Homo-oligomer: A and B are copies of this chain.
Amino acid sequence: MRLFLLPATFDRSSTLQLTGKDFNYLIKALRLKKGQELMGRDRDGGLWNLRIEKIEKASCILSVSPSEKLEEKTDALPQMRPLKPIVLYQCLPKGRKADEIIKKATEAGVQDIVLVKSRNCVADLEGKENSRLERYDAIVTEAIQQSGSVVPTKVHGVLPFKDIPADFSKRSEGLAHLGIVLHQVRLSENQSDLFSCLRGFDGITAIIVGPEGGLEEEECALLLNCGFKAVTLKTNILRCETASIYAIGAVQTILESCCQ
């Protein structure tokens, strides 16, 4: 069932004007047309029949009537069923690369992005952590609006590498959990591939991506000793900003596939 989450300002009146991100989302991104109907849900969980009555340059008018039951009106909206939770542990990359990684991971609906300080990190946020996290929050907000993501992505950091197992165990409380360490070299003979690791898994998945210089073997060993799985992607050696979204695409596609 696909639903449009009504804005917090919705006052249950019979017409609703949408501007800004909601307008962009329905009219620009989903390209809904005048006359099209959709289902809405208000912030208290109430259901509403919506119909697009008028489209202007930067706003649109919807007619609104209460609905008794869920009906499939359009499959253009993303499913409200949340995506399976993914946590990205991203070792701090150089320069503005973190911006790009955070933007793409947010679009794809990653739940938590934890910035990590590992041995080979050249970048350092010391002293500017707060201002940087503020910038990342702005990037996340924009990416959520643009992608219509229903996942409230959060950026956290900066976490020392050795604290990843404790952090992930805190985040996965009560859920099945699986941590995937991406490494460009096979770390053991009997290492599984991504597909075998994830096939049929239903829980919270962590993806650990190293910085430009990669992860040290001891760093990998620390995670593997805590039950994380090392995976070598079946591709060339990717830059860290490519590896993260490549891996998110692969992980999410396997996790969300119905035909396992």
Residues of A participating in the B interface, judged by any CB pair closer than 8 Å: 29-31, 75-76, 78, 83, 103-104, 107-109, 146-151, 184-186, 193-196, 199, 214, 233-239, 242, 245-250, 252-254, 256-260
Given contacts A147-B237, A237-B29, A237-B147, contact A259 B109 (CB under 8 A): no
Given A146-B239, A185-B76: A234 in contact with B252 (beta carbons within 8 A): yes
Chain B's closest residue to A186 (CB) is: B75
B residues near A104, Cβ cutoff 8 Å: 238, 242, 246
> From DSSP, what is the main secondary structure of chain A's interface residues?
loop
A158 to B31, CA, bound (A): 26
Q: A18 to B151, alpha carbons, bound, how many Å? A: 48
Is there an interface contact between B259 and A196, defined as CB atoms closer than 8 Å? yes
Which of A109, A184, A195, A236 gathers the greatest number of chain B CB atoms within 10 Å?
A236
Partner of A245, one of B30, B234, B245, B254: B245
Contact B250–A195 (Cβ < 8 Å): no
Q: Do the beta carbons of B237 and A256 come within 8 Å of each other?
A: no
- Determine how close the nearest CB of chain B comes to the CB of A221; give it in whole angstroms: 16
